[in-house]
């Protein structure tokens, strides 16, 4: 039951969910949620492979760094969102279609 | 010491670079430009001096430097057409280089004083630099083509300098006249070059000498006359234009419109001498073409005729101008009577004393602001240094013993006398020569006495004249030149017979250095070799036997004795003639025992003719130009307007109009509507499609990214 | 048995959370469902012996990221902001028809690609034997302090930079020309 295949299937489902959220949602924060899902899917892949394939801890370390990066990304991304909201009174992604003004 | 391009080329290039630099900076940095010009020519002078000293003291007599390079090569198959340029330095060139650079240096220095208050002070030096470099290039040239190029550059410089005061109408006209008159000679010169090229296949002096020695000119005819005669005559026409020989002498007096220092440099010392120099270089051709009697006759007529005109001139520069023509006539006589050495020597001595005379005249004009001799007089006390220099020069030009003019002119006249005894065709030449010598002494001292002696005739001018002070750039050049009018610098002795070894190794250096290139003895050119630039000269330049002064000039003892007797007669005659001319001038203008007015009244028709310069100008303007050239011109104009314009030009216009209609239709319909607008439309269409991609919507970008990634993975895996 | 139960629960939680994130209309609810999904992932970590990772996942995501998200949602006025301005809400939980269609298309393409890759994995690793789990904290600490020290330090600098950057970016600025 606990096998590489099942883990990869779960991670695949997470990944697809993330992609759908990123493309379909028009809310910037919702898109950030999708990114979190995708990052989790990849981290899960690392851990599963390191357990079932070579049984050392390198995958864990990689997942740790992914978590770190996800945290940093969330902080900066949300900062940008808040700033954007201050400027535009909106968090709709189509309001961010221009580079200037 | 081998000379290479690095040690020869600066002589020409320094003044040329000075010209190029000055042409740009002259407006803002006038004084710097003047300093550059003067410095450049002075450095050139040092180079020339070293070459001269090497040629006189170190090298053997027959040594020469000849370095060539291929300018362009149009050879096709077996047809060789190669134009070489190069440098040719022999003894004559080295002397000429020293004279040109030396005179030019002193005249540059003098000009810094003379032209200082002129508004175009700097521009004058620009022209002087260009002129000097062209003259030096001409002297160094090894072939007639580059001679011709530099010849024309000098013609241009002469044109610019004669017209230097272009605000005056006379100056502009004079410059045009000079340019047009010399152009007549130049066209003939070019024709001569072509004629020579057609036989020799090269314009190099050396190749021409070789061709003459090999007899290539025999049995060649052009227009029914021997080609050698034709070529020699054409080249001599160039000389006649440049050196102002009858009948092309009319430009030189008018050239006096230019500033006096440029008259000294160009129209007295160097450029007009270039014509004589060319004839000397082409002497074997002249001899081959049997042109010498003609040359001598032209020279005699010029020498005497110009001297007679000089008698009645009142403008101090005009006297000097006619004196220049007359002296150039003596050089041409020298060529004509085969007195090669003496003709060249007269070229050098004349350059020195005539430059000095012109500078003295410039000094006079600068101090009293007037050129008319009747308004001068008594300037001796005000201008002592100028007076001293001019006195020495007048002695020299009049042929007083111990002065340079005596040494050179006496030899020319002596040789003329010798030729007259052997060939009656030369008798008029000798008579004209001696008569001219008498007149020369007379009019030069007339000028000197009118200017410096007696009481001031115009007190207003006299009182305003500046008192002369010794200045490095006003009097010193005059005095230096005046010192070199002494005969011993040229003959090596006081008597002209070479007992005193003034210059060490070679006594009578002029006679030992300068040799007539005899057609019979041209063999040393036949074994001539020339090097590429930079190649080391392997020829023996020291161990050839040093020539000594041959008193007999290669003649037998008896013949030489005869010649010497005639020479002695000639020398004594010319001394008597010189002194009698001086005495006549003295009694007319200082003692006033003879009234010159009586002469002018008695020979009124002659005086009018002289004042009218023998009506040459009237002849040219009135007869040739008005009666001949202008009707011909009108005829050509009618042809041009009536036939060429009407049918050829207008017909062509009609054809063009039709072509225009057709091409306009094509242009409007095919090019404009089809291609140009089509391009725009297609761009607009593509723009509509492609613009949707660039929407700025990040989700679309993300999708595209994923699709690209997916396709990449798919292609990688399957 | 316990491990299998945990795995099943975690998998259901993960997939259900993810599906709810996709599906939910309300952004606030989405965040909460994301939290559930992340909890499920932590359970999945724990099932294969990644105890330290599971704890980190709980602490960082549940305690940090999701709280941050909720703050952001609340700071920007919740999910109802301008909700109909672009014709949203026509389809449940999605933006609009066009984006839904595109997202579906992209998901199908991506699924095809990934499944094609996974097919070989399923075949080859079907019989992998699960090894015994043991504590990983001390080993991870050693590894981070020795082999991966450089990456560790760089990530700390990255976090610091992100901290400062987020503060600077979101700081309210006064208009210069007021």
Residue B486 vs residue B505, higher pLDDT: B486
> Does C116 lie at the interface with B, CB-CB under 8 angstroms?
yes
CB contact under 8 A, B710 and C116: no
pLDDT attached to residue B487 = 77
pLDDT attached to residue B545 = 44
Residue B546, H or E segment: none
pLDDT attached to residue B402 = 80
- For residue B511, is pLDDT > 60? yes
Please report residues of A whose CB lies closer than 8 A to that of C63: none
Query: Number of residue pairs across A and C with CB atoms under 8 Å?
Result: 226
Percentage of chain B surpassing pLDDT 90? 26
Closest CA of chain A from C83, distance in Å: 9
Please report residues of B whose CB lies closer than 8 A to that of A38: none
In chain C, what's the furthest Cα-to-Cα distance?
70
pLDDT attached to residue C134 = 78
Q: Using CB atoms, pick whichever of B695, B696, B702 lies closest to residue A23.
A: B702
Average pLDDT, chain B: 83
Closest CA of chain B from A36, distance in Å: 16
> Does B699 lie at the interface with C, CB-CB under 8 angstroms?
yes
pLDDT attached to residue B532 = 62
In a 13 Å sphere around the CA of B3, the CA atoms on its Cβ side amount to 24
- In this predicted structure, which of A26-40, B38-52, B598-612 has the lowest mean pLDDT? B598-612
- For residue B533, is pLDDT > 70? no
B67-120 pLDDT tens trace: 888 888 888 777 778 888 888 888 889 889 999 999 999 999 999 988 888 888
- In this predicted structure, which of B708-717, C133-142, C169-178 has the lowest mean pLDDT? C169-178
> Does C155 lie at the interface with B, CB-CB under 8 angstroms?
no
Q: At what angle do helices B340-368 and B316-336 cross, to 10 degrees?
A: 180
Percentage of chain A surpassing pLDDT 70? 97
Residue B512 vs residue B390, higher pLDDT: B390
C12-34 pLDDT tens trace: 999 999 998 888 877 788 888 99
CB contact under 8 A, C48 and A48: yes
Q: Using CB atoms, pick whichever of A18, A44, A55 lies closest to residue C44.
A: A44
pLDDT band at B546 (very low <50, low <70, confident <90, very high): very low
DSSP H stretches of helix in B85-168: 91-114, 121-140, 144-162
Q: Which residue of B has its CA nearest to A22?
A: B699
pLDDT attached to residue B535 = 58
Integer Cα distance of B306 and B440 in angstroms: 10
pLDDT attached to residue B542 = 53
CB contact under 8 A, B706 and C102: no
Please report residues of B whose CB lies closer than 8 A to that of A31: 699
Average pLDDT on B676-681 reads 88
CB contact under 8 A, B707 and C106: yes
Closest CA of chain C from A97, distance in Å: 14
Integer Cα distance of A16 and A34 in angstroms: 9
Please report residues of A whose CB lies closer than 8 A to that of C96: 26
Integer Cα distance of C143 and B610 in angstroms: 122
Integer Cα distance of B459 and B533 in angstroms: 63
Please report residues of A whose CB lies closer than 8 A to that of B698: 93, 96
- For residue B257, is pLDDT > 50? yes
The domain locations on chain B are 616-714
Q: Using CB atoms, pick whichever of A23, A98, A99 lies closest to residue B703.
A: A23
Q: Using CB atoms, pick whichever of A30, A61, A72 lies closest to residue C162.
A: A72
Supply angle C-alpha B398, B96, B144, rounded to 5: 120
> Does C20 lie at the interface with A, CB-CB under 8 angstroms?
no
CATH value of A4-96 in 1.10.287.3510, 3.30.70.260, 1.10.1660.10, 1.10.220.70: 1.10.287.3510
B331-352 pLDDT tens trace: 999 999 888 888 998 999 999 9
Closest CA of chain C from B684, distance in Å: 27
- For residue B506, is pLDDT > 50? no
- For residue C85, is pLDDT > 60? no
Q: Using CB atoms, pick whichever of A60, A76, A83 lies closest to residue C53.
A: A60
CB contact under 8 A, A19 and B706: yes
Q: Using CB atoms, pick whichever of A13, A24, A47 lies closest to residue C53.
A: A47
> Does A19 lie at the interface with B, CB-CB under 8 angstroms?
yes
Closest CA of chain B from C127, distance in Å: 24
Q: Using CB atoms, pick whichever of B696, B699, B706 lies closest to residue A98.
A: B696
- For residue C91, is pLDDT > 70? no
CA–CA distance from B322 to each of B348, B595, B665, C32 (Å)? Answer: 18, 23, 70, 120
CB contact under 8 A, B699 and A22: yes
Q: Domains of chain C, with CATH numbers?
A: 2-170 (1.20.120.1200)
Torsion of CA C91, C94, C95, C98, to 10 degrees: -70
The domain locations on chain A are 4-96
pLDDT attached to residue B598 = 76
CA–CA distance from C63 to each of A76, C6, C67 (Å)? Answer: 17, 22, 6
CB contact under 8 A, A24 and C76: no
All chains having 3 or more CB pairs closer than 8 angstroms to chain C: A, B
Average pLDDT on B626-630 reads 81
Integer Cα distance of B258 and B174 in angstroms: 9
Integer Cα distance of A68 and A74 in angstroms: 10
pLDDT band at C100 (very low <50, low <70, confident <90, very high): confident
Per-position b or e across B482-497, b if 16+ CB within 10 A of its CB: bebbbbbbbbbbeebe
> Does C106 lie at the interface with B, CB-CB under 8 angstroms?
yes
Integer Cα distance of B309 and B173 in angstroms: 21
User: Scanning the structure block, which residue is given the tokens 């006594």?
Assistant: B507
Residue A57 vs residue B615, higher pLDDT: A57
Q: Which 3-state string (H, E, C) describes B198-229?
A: HHHCCCEHHHHHHHHHCCCCCCCEECCEEHHH
Tell me the DSSP string of chain C: -HHHHHHHHHHHHHHHHHHHHHH-SSHHHHHHHHHHHHHHHHHHHHHTT-HHHHHHHIIIIIIIIHHHHHHHHHHTT-TTTTTTTTT--SSTTSS-HHHHHHHHHHHHHHHHHHHHHHHHHHHHTTTPPPPPP---HHHHHHHHHTTTHHHHHHHHHHHHHHHHHHHHHHS----TT-
Q: Which residue of B has its CA nearest to C111?
A: B710
pLDDT band at C92 (very low <50, low <70, confident <90, very high): very low
pLDDT band at B150 (very low <50, low <70, confident <90, very high): very high
> Does B705 lie at the interface with A, CB-CB under 8 angstroms?
no
Residue C93 zone, left/alpha/beta (φ > 0; ψ -120 to 50; rest)? left
- For residue B496, is pLDDT > 50? no
Integer Cα distance of B349 and B186 in angstroms: 26
Please report residues of C whose CB lies closer than 8 A to that of B699: 99, 102
Q: Using CB atoms, pick whichever of B697, B702, B703 lies closest to residue A94.
A: B697
All chains having 3 or more CB pairs closer than 8 angstroms to chain A: B, C
pLDDT attached to residue B492 = 58
* C-alpha closest to that of B54 among B79, B27, B30, B89: B89
Closest CA of chain A from C177, distance in Å: 15
DSSP B168: S
Q: Using CB atoms, pick whichever of B696, B702, B703 lies closest to residue A97.
A: B696
Average pLDDT on A42-63 reads 88
Which residues numbered 645-704 in B keep a CB inside 8 Å of some CB on A? 695-699, 702-703
B356-403 pLDDT tens trace: 999 999 988 888 888 888 788 788 888 888 899 999 999 999 888 888
pLDDT attached to residue B556 = 63
Q: Using CB atoms, pick whichever of A93, A98, A99 lies closest to residue B699.
A: A93
- In this predicted structure, which of B59-73, B104-118, B297-311, C35-49 has the lowest mean pLDDT? B59-73
CB contact under 8 A, C166 and A47: no
Integer Cα distance of B14 and B19 in angstroms: 9
Cβ B36 vs Cβ B18: under 8 Å:
yes
pLDDT attached to residue C177 = 55
CB contact under 8 A, A24 and C57: no
Cβ B341 vs Cβ B407: under 8 Å:
no
pLDDT band at C82 (very low <50, low <70, confident <90, very high): very low
Integer Cα distance of B443 and B327 in angstroms: 13
pLDDT band at B549 (very low <50, low <70, confident <90, very high): very low
Q: Which of B211-220, B247-256, B499-508, C71-80 has the highest mean pLDDT?
A: B247-256
* Cα dihedral across residues B347, B353, B359, B361: positive or negative: negative
pLDDT attached to residue C49 = 85
- Here the tokens at position B642 are 């009536």
> Does B707 lie at the interface with C, CB-CB under 8 angstroms?
yes
pLDDT attached to residue B497 = 44
- For residue B541, is pLDDT > 70? no
The count of other CB atoms within 10 Å of the CB of residue C15 is 17
């Amino acid at each position: 039951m606990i096998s590489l295949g099942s883990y990869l299937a779960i991670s695949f489902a997470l990944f697809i969910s993330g992609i759908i959220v990123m493309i379909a949602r028009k809310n910037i924060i919702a898109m950030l949620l999708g990114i979190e899902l995708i990052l989790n899917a990849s981290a899960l892949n690392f851990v599963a492979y390191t357990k079932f394939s070579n049984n050392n801890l390198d995958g864990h370390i990689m997942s740790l760094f992914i978590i770190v990066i996800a945290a940093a990304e969330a902080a900066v991304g949300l900062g940008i969102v808040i700033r954007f909201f201050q400027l535009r009174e909106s968090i709709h992604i189509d309001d961010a279609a221009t580079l200037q003004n | 010491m081998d000379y290479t391009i690095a040690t020869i080329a600066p002589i020409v290039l320094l003044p040329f670079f000075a010209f190029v630099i000055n042409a740009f900076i002259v407006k803002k940095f006038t004084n710097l430009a003047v300093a550059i010009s003067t410095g450049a020519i002075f450095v050139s002078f040092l180079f020339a001096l070293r070459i001269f000293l090497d040629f006189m003291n170190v090298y053997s007599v027959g040594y020469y430097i000849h370095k060539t390079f291929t300018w362009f090569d149009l050879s096709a198959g077996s047809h060789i057409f190669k134009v070489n340029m190069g440098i040719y330095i022999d003894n004559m060139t080295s002397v000429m280089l020293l004279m040109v650079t030396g005179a030019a240096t002193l005249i540059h220095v003098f000009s810094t004083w003379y032209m200082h208050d002129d508004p175009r002070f700097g521009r004058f030096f620009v022209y002087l630099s260009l002129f000097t470099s062209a003259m030096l290039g001409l002297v160094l040239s090894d072939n007639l083509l580059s001679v011709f190029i530099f010849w024309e550059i000098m013609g241009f410089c002469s044109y610019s300098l004669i017209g230097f005061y272009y605000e005056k109408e006379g100056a502009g006209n004079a410059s045009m006249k000079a340019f047009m008159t010399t152009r007549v000679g130049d066209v003939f010169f070019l024709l001569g070059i072509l004629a020579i090229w057609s036989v020799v296949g090269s314009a190099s002096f050396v190749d021409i000498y070789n061709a003459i020695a090999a007899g290539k000119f025999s049995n060649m005819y052009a227009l029914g006359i021997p080609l050698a005669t034709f070529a020699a005559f054409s080249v001599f026409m160039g000389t006649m234009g440049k050196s102002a020989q009858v009948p092309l002498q009319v430009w030189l007096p008018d050239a006096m419109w230019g500033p006096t220092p440029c008259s000294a440099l160009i129209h007295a010392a160097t450029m007009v001498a270039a014509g004589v120099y060319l004839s000397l270089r082409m002497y074997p051709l002249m001899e081959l073409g049997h042109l010498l009697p003609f040359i001598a006759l032209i020279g005699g007529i010029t020498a005497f005729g110009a001297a007679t005109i000089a008698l009645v001139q009142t403008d101090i520069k005009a006297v000097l101008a006619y004196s220049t023509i007359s002296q150039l006539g003596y050089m041409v006589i020298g060529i004509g009577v085969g007195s090669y050495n003496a003709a060249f020597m007269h070229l050098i001595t004349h350059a020195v004393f005539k430059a000095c005379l012109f500078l003295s005249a410039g000094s006079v004009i600068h101090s009293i602001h007037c050129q008319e001799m009747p308004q001068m007089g008594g300037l001796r006390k005000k201008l002592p240094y100028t007076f001293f220099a001019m006195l020495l020069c007048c002695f020299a030009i009049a042929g007083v013993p111990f002065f340079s003019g005596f040494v050179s002119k006496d030899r020319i006249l002596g040789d003329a006398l010798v030729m007259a005894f052997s060939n009656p065709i030369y008798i008029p030449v000798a008579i004209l020569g001696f008569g001219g010598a008498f007149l020369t002494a007379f009019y030069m001292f007339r000028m000197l006495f009118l200017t410096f002696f007696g009481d001031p005739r115009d007190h207003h001018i006299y009182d305003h004249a500046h008192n002369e002070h010794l200045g490095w750039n006003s009097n010193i050049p005059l005095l230096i030149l005046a010192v070199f009018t002494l005969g011993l610098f040229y003959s090596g002795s006081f008597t002209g017979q070479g007992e005193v070894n003034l210059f060490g190794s070679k006594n009578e250096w002029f006679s030992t250095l300068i040799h007539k290139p005899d057609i019979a003895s041209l063999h040393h050119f036949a074994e001539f070799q020339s090097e590429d630039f930079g190649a080391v000269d392997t020829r023996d330049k020291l161990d050839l036997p040093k020539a000594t002064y041959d008193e007999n000039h290669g003649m037998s003892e008896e013949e030489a004795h005869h010649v010497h007797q005639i020479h002695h007669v000639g020398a004594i005659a010319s001394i008597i003639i010189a002194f009698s001319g001086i005495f006549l001038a003295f009694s007319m203008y200082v003692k006033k025992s003879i009234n010159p007015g009586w002469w002018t009244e008695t020979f009124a028709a002659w005086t009018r003719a002289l004042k009218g310069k023998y009506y040459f100008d009237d002849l040219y303007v009135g007869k040739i130009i008005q009666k001949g050239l202008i009707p011909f011109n009108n005829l050509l104009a009618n042809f041009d307007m009536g036939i060429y314009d009407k049918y050829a030009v207008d017909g062509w216009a009609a054809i063009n109009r039709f072509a225009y209609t057709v091409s306009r239709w094509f242009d409007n319909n095919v090019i404009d509507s089809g291609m140009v607008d089509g391009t725009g439309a297609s761009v607009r269409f593509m723009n509509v499609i492609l613009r949707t991609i660039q929407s700025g919507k990040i989700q679309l970008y993300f999708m595209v990214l994923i699709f690209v990634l997916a396709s990449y993975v798919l292609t990688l895996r399957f | 048995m316990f491990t299998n139960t945990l795995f099943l629960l975690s998998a259901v939680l993960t997939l259900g959370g993810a599906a709810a994130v996709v599906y939910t209309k309300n952004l606030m609810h989405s965040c909460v469902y994301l939290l559930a999904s992340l909890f499920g992932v932590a359970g999945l970590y724990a099932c294969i012996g990644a105890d330290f990772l599971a704890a980190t996942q709980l602490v960082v995501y549940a305690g940090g990221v999701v709280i941050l998200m909720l703050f952001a949602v609340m700071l920007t006025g919740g999910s109802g902001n301008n909700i109909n301005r672009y014709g949203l809400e026509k389809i449940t939980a999605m933006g609009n028809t066009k984006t839904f269609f595109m997202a579906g298309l992209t998901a199908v393409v991506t699924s095809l690609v990934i499944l094609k890759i996974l097919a070989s994995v399923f075949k080859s690793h079907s019989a992998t034997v699960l090894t015994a789990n043991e504590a990983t904290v001390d080993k991870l600490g050693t590894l981070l302090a020795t082999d991966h020290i450089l990456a560790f330090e760089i990530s700390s600098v990255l976090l610091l930079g992100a901290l400062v950057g987020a503060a600077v970016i979101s700081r309210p600025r006064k208009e210069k020309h007021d």
